[in-house]
A and B are shown apart, each in its own frame.
Chain A
């Protein structure tokens, strides 16, 4: 069982070392600072596009939303317009809540069985996964947006404002960004859950640990660059601006730590489209959530609907005509 997380952990560690020593020892700045990031971005967008078109090419033969509330029926019965939408607006709201607030995860419960006199099965509200997941995703998003300052010159006001909010705790110097801390805490929580929650650890694959370690590696290297080892920010911005303007340059004196960080980010980008991380796009396409429950009111068309062999009434009556007549049942063809 240990293998499942020890191997990915070792792989992430190795990847970091490869970049670090590659730069510090072999002077491969160009490779890790220019080639790899470009390749990763190409792999990300190419892979993402490939994956999504593949999904989109699969047909949607039936409208099968999972209904989680009262349907629209009689006018005096109150419909749950969001959890059982029958209109586009309802579906839109449902999706927004799902995508931005993880509404389904919010419902999570934990079952327990108490073998005693009463033998009760109980279900308690289990909010931690929801909190952890929400914290993780929003912290990650904030971190990504903050990083845009490396790719835009001059840095737009709204990014500065976000940074201001993110640093509002005003601890330490340079000011502590909450997002980084929350991200690390959340990802560690998700990891701990995967290792220590009996059921989750049983279903986990090495492929589930890998992105977690990758993100942990990215976060730790990022945090240490900002707060502890103090890298050459001006140099880094020169490099990143070079990348986005397609005038790549390798300024002198950027530490290997930075290249290790960038390498892990690149791996994450390249790995993204071929992994479960595609749930980010998949959630938009999930037919149990993104369709209206209005099948009985509006006909849905199945693009590959084909004719099937049925047992017709005529055949049926031929089989049973005499018995039907005897029983006094009406028949179409009397003999």
Chain B
């Protein structure tokens, strides 16, 4: 990390004073290393038959665009205006009141005015006005009319600006909460990215996971046998820690429930510990209540980077969930901890790939609870599921095993603002550990700040962008860290778990990142387990280390 910008230098740059020059006239965008992601590998676009796959470099002048690219954008805009009322209305009704301006973490972290949600949207809106607004078209005939109506033609500079700033938005929807009309800049970014994809202008950190997911079932491109290896490996670890073989089931026909979680949980620390938490929970439920949960290698990805590409791509990747549930003949689907995965499931899946009439309305067979809120989609969030189990006293736990932890909780953007899953995770936290402190009110729940790496921006090459975008979140963590001694940041999102360790190391180095089901896994008492000496991270449990030291003396 040596050639990267230091925290102090980054903080020095923050200035919310906007320049006095007109933003539209400063049109030629400076694409700066550290702030952008590499272009998509053409092979990845080919897997999905996406158009205009080619090698191109954002820093070079020539983006090797198809000749009629302006026409493609114009037609693309037109189609989307007809297909999405959100898009059309949001293009028309922004009053530029500025309420959203300082709500975006990227603006707060960079001070770049084009990261104000309203300006991000205006980048596209200015072209919309030019091409589609009758009033603006008339006005533009007069001298100075273009500047009056705020329209501009689609030029290469504009296109580059779109690309740069639509890949500096994590589609977190925080701006939408504050907008008096609910204008959702995330939705505009989504459209912007769809349009860019029509010209083959995706970033590699999205395109390659998408291609992998399509071919092998998950973003990381883990093939089925390697997936199983990983699960076996966790099984061994758990056996070492607890003395119990959790014996997970994979691709098992006739199981009660299909479980789908982001592949990040299976392959990247500290998500892996959350994954072990799930495995312990499923073992517990199997032994005690004879509930059969199966994993799948075909649907081994809960996340959906297609969502960051286009609606169509999202649908193509999401289709696997229902298809696999049908093939395995399960009753319903349980979904793991993930952010955007849940936005897709909650707001898109049933519409795109439903109806799931081959599944049953989800009921927790152990508590009898009907998940009424999921009766059509037939997919339940694991936090809803576990909270229900705990509420009915169905889990025997020793929560002193989490006594080392002083927790705070980060609401992931999508479950917060695209679903409203706020109190279920908090309930589980409160039932599995003793010390829990909320971050300041303006930074949690529906006002939560993004990790700065969502929506496919969790790459390595844009690290400055990520650290800047994550600043508001990290700053709030720092606050509770200093005030209450918080040492662990709890979250329910695989991207968070991948992004936060770096962010914490940068801004609040003393804070670790942990998933909710890691807490559950630590606390659950499995049938026949031996006395645990360590937690799932193989670190000594509270009290254990001391005893050892005492022994040594």
Contacts and interface: CB of A to CB of B under 8 A. Distances in A.
Given A58-B88, A59-B83, A73 B421 contact: yes
B316 A308 contact: yes
Nearest to B97: A129
Given A105-B180, A293-B419, A308-B319, A299 B350 contact: yes
A228 interface: no
Contacts of B98: 129, 197, 199-200, 203
A113 B347 contact: no
Nearest to B145: A206
Contacts of B471: 121
Nearest to A285: B89
A210 B374 CA distance: 49
Contacts of A1: 20-22
A85 to B, nearest CB: 10
Interface in B177-198: 177-184, 187
Interface string B9-34: 00110101111111100000000000
Interface in B80-103: 81-90, 92-99, 101-103
Nearest to A317: B298
Interface string A283-319: 1011111000111111111101100111111001101
B64 interface: no
A147 interface: no
Nearest to B318: A310
Chain B contact surface mostly: helix
Contact of A113 (B16, B348, B377): B16
B388 to A, nearest CB: 6
Contacts of B177: 66, 68, 104, 107
Contacts of B355: 299
B214 interface: yes
Interface stretch (A49-57, A162-170, A258-266): A49-57
Interface in B55-74: none
Contacts, number: 331
B92 A278 contact: yes
Contact of B323 (A64, A287, A313): A313
B180 A283 contact: yes
A319 B19 CA distance: 56
Given A208-B96, A282-B92, A66 B228 contact: no
Chain A contact surface mostly: loop
A7 B369 CA distance: 65
Given A69-B422, A70-B420, A289 B229 contact: no
Interface stretch (A28-36, A177-185, A242-250, A326-334): A326-334
29 contacts: A51-B92, A59-B84, A62-B347, A71-B419, A71-B422, A74-B391, A104-B99, A104-B180, A105-B97, A108-B99, A115-B11, A121-B472, A123-B443, A129-B99, A133-B180, A202-B18, A203-B98, A206-B148, A207-B148, A276-B96, A286-B181, A288-B176, A293-B420, A294-B373, A295-B351, A297-B373, A311-B316, A311-B320, A327-B228
- CB-CB nearest 6 A-B residue pairs: A71-B420, A274-B135, A282-B93, A327-B225, A288-B182, A67-B420
Interface of B: 11-12, 14, 16-23, 49, 81-90, 92-99, 101-103, 108, 113, 116, 118-119, 122, 133-135, 144, 147-150, 173, 176-184, 187, 214-217, 223-225, 228-229, 250-253, 297-298, 311-312, 315-316, 319-320, 323-324, 327, 345-348, 350-352, 354-355, 369, 371-377, 379, 384, 387-388, 391, 416-424, 427, 440, 442-443, 445-447, 471-472, 475-476, 479
